Amino acid sequence: MGEDLSQIRAKFNGSLRVEARPERLTGEAGGMILREVAERLGLLPWMTERLSDPRDPELITHPLSELLATTLVLMGLGWRDRDDADSLRDDPLLRLSVSERRGLSPLETRPRQEGVPLSKNPEDPDGLASQPTLSRLVRDLSTEPNRAVLRGALVETVARRIKAGRDGHRMRYVTLDVDSLPIEVHGHQPGSAYNGHYHARIYHPLMCSIAETGDLLDAKLRPGNAHTAEGGLAFILPLLDQVEARLCQVASVRFDAGFPEDQLLSALEERRRAYVARIKNNPVLDRMAQPYLVRPVGRPPLEPRTWLYEMSYQAQSWSCARRVVLVVQERPGELLLHHFWLLTSWTKEQMDAEALLSLYRERGTAEGHQGELMSVLEPALSSSPRTKRHYRGQPPKKVYPQADSFAHNEVLLLLNMLAYNLLHAARVLLAAGTGAGFSIKRLRERVLRIPARLLLHGRRAVLVIAQTAAAFWQCLWRRLMVFQAAPPG
């Protein structure tokens, strides 16, 4: 019998009542998909083998792999706040999805008594990890070696996903899109600052993604007032080595007008790594462009035209002259011609001006993927130092040193990027199975965040999902059945 919530009645239809029953219902059925994708990629074992866990093994209730699975699944499903883990603690599907235990044992629930701590038996965790446990996970991951592992996990995840779809082969060419990304914060998180260009208090991290595949590769959190290119050299060069070792044979770099500085350009040229970038207009470039900003005689065609001109240019701060391409464009409804400049290390024989412009325009695709990270996952970089002055009304017995909140926020950003890559892997498989495009938002709303019911039959659990999502799940699972990432080496 259910509980009759008689006070909840619909005025528009008197026959409609609300009743609560102790059934195994869930609105997070897609947690099963995200965990299966992570399992096929071998992501969790790869991370747990390399991460340092400072906890006392005798006091561990939730293994590190379960904490990572819980964090990534909740972020992927849209639960941004670690407090949400408490409200979802007893969700049956999430408990099965994040647990390392087989069978139905993750669903076993022990009676809880007020004031009595839960069992510390690592073989018998009760529900999802709590908010304090997940917060301590972020603290433990904030050490420099562990953050390096998280960065490596991003590259490893992308490499395994791509090679799994290419019979174990690397890609021939990959272009790394490097950009800075504003992440607005609400408070005074350490390192955040007001940025006049974005008119907000932000962090200003460096980001790297791949437009051709849609994956996120790396990020480096920086203060909100950092210049666009600050730290770019130390960020790009090691990443190039990792990408060419695991993901492709030849990598090039594409960035916007804030990055071209002589030190970075010279380092890429010395390593024989190609690049293309936009450079800011200045009086010298404007004078060089002036003879070409004349509209041809005659009535303009219906389609706007583009003209490309090859030149050489050496800025005052550069050590040598470099190839630049002037791009002159007609714009509908505008009398004057628009122009901008591209800078590249490719020669004309390697890539002509038209191919160079086409390559640069793919930056928009990369920016779209980074926009999905911000609009759909919405990373909440809210960690800030808060000294505990009391505990249950009494002074704390021990006061711990303040945490490195800047490092905590970088960990949160990297974890959100890992969750994005899991979502993207599911999106790619589903798109291949259905022949239709999917945004991350549509994937979450139509496939992952769907109502379901968990039925137990003997030693088996059956997840009953809505018929409207069945076709999507079937197409996705058909692809997952043959999707298996090979381990390194």
Write the DSSP assignment of 446-468 as a string of letters. Answer: IIIS--EEEEEETTEEEEEE-HH
Token pair belonging to 136: 């301590």
Element of type H or E holding 320:
none
CA distance 37 to 255: 31
List the strands of the sheet with 200-203, edge to edge. Answer: 183-184, 200-203, 193-195
With a cut of 60, say whether residue 2 has pLDDT above it.
no
Element of type H or E holding 78:
none
What pLDDT band is residue 185 in, cutting at 50, 70 and 90?
A: very high
CA distance 310 to 342: 10
CA distance 164 to 40: 10
The per-residue pLDDT for 54 is 92
Let me know: does 308 contact 287? Beta carbons within 8 Å: no
Let me know: does 325 contact 340? Beta carbons within 8 Å: no
Q: What is the gyration radius of the CA atoms in the chain, in angstroms?
A: 26
Provide, rounded to the nearest whole percent, the portion of the chain with pLDDT above 70.
92
Token pair belonging to 138: 């972020």
Let me know: does 204 contact 224? Beta carbons within 8 Å: yes
Give every CB contact of residue 80 below 8 A, 6+ residues apart in sequence: 377, 378, 379, 380
* Residue spans of beta strands (DSSP E) within 48-203: 171-180, 183-184, 193-195, 200-203
Q: Which of 5-9, 215-219, 294-298 has the lowest mean pLDDT?
A: 5-9
Element of type H or E holding 12:
none
Element of type H or E holding 412:
helix 405-434
The per-residue pLDDT for 429 is 94
Strand 452-457 and strand 25-26: pairing? antiparallel
CB neighbour burial string for 142-166, b if at least 16 within 10 angstroms, e if fewer: bbeebbebbbbbbbbbbbbbbbbbe
User: Which amino acid is residue 304, in one-letter code?
Assistant: P
With a cut of 50, say whether residue 431 has pLDDT above it.
yes
- State how far the alpha carbon of 433 is from the alpha carbons of 76, 167, 201, in Å: 21, 17, 42
CA distance 382 to 408: 9
Let me know: does 363 contact 176? Beta carbons within 8 Å: no
What's the distance, Cα to Cα, between the start and end of the chain in Å? 57
pLDDT digits (tens, 9 = 90+) for 333-358: 888 899 999 999 999 999 999 999 99
CA distance 340 to 335: 17
With a cut of 80, say whether residue 384 has pLDDT above it.
yes
Across all residues in the chain, what is the average pLDDT?
89
pLDDT digits (tens, 9 = 90+) for 158-171: 999 999 888 888 99
CA distance 212 to 209: 9
**Mean pLDDT, rounded, for 238-261:** 93
* Residue spans of beta strands (DSSP E) within 264-381: 275-279, 306-313, 322-329, 338-344
